[in-house]
Every structure is written in C-alpha cells, then in structure tokens.
Amino acid sequence: MRSAEHNNRWLQRFHIDGQLFVALLVLAVISAFTVYSASGQDWGMTQRQVIRIGIAFLGMLVIAQIPLSTVERFSLPMFTLGVVLLLGVLLFGESSKGAQRWLNIGVATIQPSEIMKLAVPMTVAWFIAEQGLPPTKRRLAAAFILLMIPTLMIAKQPDLGTSILIASSGIFVLFLAGISWRLISFFAISIGAFIPILWMFLMRDYQRQRVLTFLNPESDPLGAGYQIIQSKIAIGSGGVEGKGWLQGTQSQLEFLPERHTDFIFSVFSEEFGLVGVIGLFAVYGFIIFRGLIIAMRAQKIYQKLLAGSLTLTFFVYVLVNIGMVSGLLPVVGVPLPLISYGGTSMVTLLAGFGLLMAIATNKRLVMHD
C-alpha cells in the first residue's frame, strides 16, 4: 500500500484515493448502463445521467482539495446555514409530490436537506473531537440534540428517507466516538418506545400506508403493495444469471414503477441476476471497507469520525434501498447510491467521497508537517 502510494505521487498531489476512485468509477459505469435500460432505452436520460456523474465527480475532486482544517472550521457555520435554510423550507418551501423539500433562493432551487447530509456528520464530529474520546454524557446529550434538530425538521417535510440517513450519520459519529454500550442499549430501547409516537403523530398517511404495505404487500396487490410485488417478481425472475441487459421484461414492459430511480436495483437484479448482484455487493463492500480503512488511518479524531460516519452512512444508503426493493424494509424513498437516476443525491454522495479522499490523502501531509 505504501509503495503504491509512493508510485502515485500524482494522485497524492491531487488528493485522489486511487482505489476509491476506481470503485466509484465502476459504479458510475454500472449506473449509466442500468439507467439506459431502466429508462426504456432513453438516450436523452442516459446522457443527462452521465453528465451529472461527470459534474459530481468534478465536485468530488474539487472538495478533495480543500484543506481539512478549513472543513473543520466550516462545520458549524455550514450546519447553522443548513438549519436556517430548513426553516426556510418549512416556511416558504416549494411543494413537489406532497412534500416540501425545495427552497427557491431566486437563482436556483436548492434542497437544504442535502447540505445537512454533510453538515451533520461534520458538525457532530467537530463537536465530539473538540473534547476527545470518549465523549462525556453531557457532550453526548448536546451532540444528540444537535443532530435531532435537522432530523426532525426534515422528517416534518416529510422526507423519511433523508431524515433516517441524516440521523444515522450523526449517530454513527457518536457510535464511533465510543459511546458506551449501556447508552447504546438505552437508545435502542428509547427508539423502540419512540416508534408508536412516530406512527401516531409524526407519520403521514402515505408513510403509514407504506409501512402497512411493507408488512403484507400481497394484501393490496394492485395498490400500494404493487411496487413491492412487482419488484420482487423482477428480482426473482432474474434468477442466477439474469435475463440480460435490456432484456428484463418486468422493467422494459413497465411493470416496475419508479424503475430508473428508487427501484433501479430491481432492474439491475432482473437483468444481471444473482451474479450481477454479488458483483455489485462486492463493489459496495469494497468502497465501505476502503472508507473504514481511511477512517482508521486518519490521524486526527475529527477526520476519523467524519470518515467513518460518511462511510457508514453510505452503507445505510445501500442497506435501506436494497432492503426496501427486495422486501426486507418498508419503502422509504432512498435511492440506490450512485446508481439511481437523479442528480441531487449523486452530488452530495460524491462530495462526501471528496471529503473522504481529502482525509485519505491528508495523512502524509500531516506526517510532513
């Protein structure tokens, strides 16, 4: 590893982690091919997706160049800005599909919850790192409140998927910071107790419906259960070897809803089979493993916590999406990271990987200091 880094001074200089970069590129290629198939061979959509990937990759490389001290300094201001924008969304946001997620700031519409995907782990990591590991109970409590503010604001929009991702990103920081197992048990029990409250007061009808349908999709095969049933049919009918690229009848004949966005994994599984799925898991697994390695090797606590949290949040993305399309989890509207059609999550995710790369390549600079 060390010699490889020696031989890649060029990569080091531009703060690029070669292994991570290659793995992400593989996902980008898979994304392009799968979107082409899932969009009904819509060349225009595929082109847009490729352009987005390109822009997101550029963004990743730019972020990787930012000194980590700057990142750390900007954590709290970014968080504060995010909260203000979220407040703006709740007050003046634009609706789309029954949810207020977008804020029109004159020149463009932005989705403040995306900022929070980075700002929450950065801020919580900064807040914990300031004190050192393991954190005191008071600091933990403060950190918890810190992460719950945006989580609840986003859940209120409502955007359950994103609020889960943001809450996890903060909780992962706390977990990695060494929060005691007793506290972890306490939280687990609290969450258990929170579920009825969530169900009765915080969830919207359509969210409840999703959960009910998840519990028994066949109870409503033409309505809400339809998505899950068709998705499972798509995955299962792919078998071991898959039906072949562009040959997935479930997706090509439009039996699968939202097949190029949230349900793109079903298309992939139908066309590439279990073999393809294992390959995709391997790439995801490699990225997560690499992310954790980077976290381990990072010198500063802030960097360790941030790298670990970003990596595990990425894992949650994968888990929630694949879990929901294969019927293990309720449908909560989380895209398959770096594969699903759509630009917002792509940009945020790769920005996160930009930070990871900055952390990965920061080590040597620290040593030279």
Which residues are at the interface with other proteins (CB under 8 A)? Answer: 132-134, 136, 172, 175-178, 230, 232-240, 249-250, 253-255, 269, 273-274, 277-278, 281, 284-285, 288-289, 292, 295-296, 301, 304-305, 308, 312, 315, 319, 322-323, 326-328
DSSP conformation class of 335: P
Q: Closest approach of Cβ 37 to other proteins, in Å?
A: 15
Number of CB atoms found within 10 A of residue 124's CB: 28
Residue 268 has which token pair? Answer: 């992939």
Q: Closest approach of Cβ 309 to other proteins, in Å?
A: 10
Question: 227 with 257: CB under 8 angstroms?
Answer: yes
Q: Residue 209 or 326: which CB sits closer to other proteins?
A: 326
Rg (CA), the chain: 21
Q: Closest approach of Cβ 27 to other proteins, in Å?
A: 16
Q: Closest approach of Cβ 360 to other proteins, in Å?
A: 15
Q: Residue 303 or 344: which CB sits closer to other proteins?
A: 303
Q: Residue 156 or 297: which CB sits closer to other proteins?
A: 297
Dist CA 184 CA 44 (whole Å): 48
Extended strands (E) in the chain: 94-96, 99-104, 109-110
Residue 220 to residues 78, 199, 292, Cα–Cα distance (Å): 44, 20, 41
Rounded (10°) angle between helices 264-297 and 344-368: 20
Q: Residue 11 or 288: which CB sits closer to other proteins?
A: 288
Number of CB atoms found within 10 A of residue 21's CB: 17
Q: Closest approach of Cβ 269 to other proteins, in Å?
A: 7
Q: Residue 22 or 328: which CB sits closer to other proteins?
A: 328
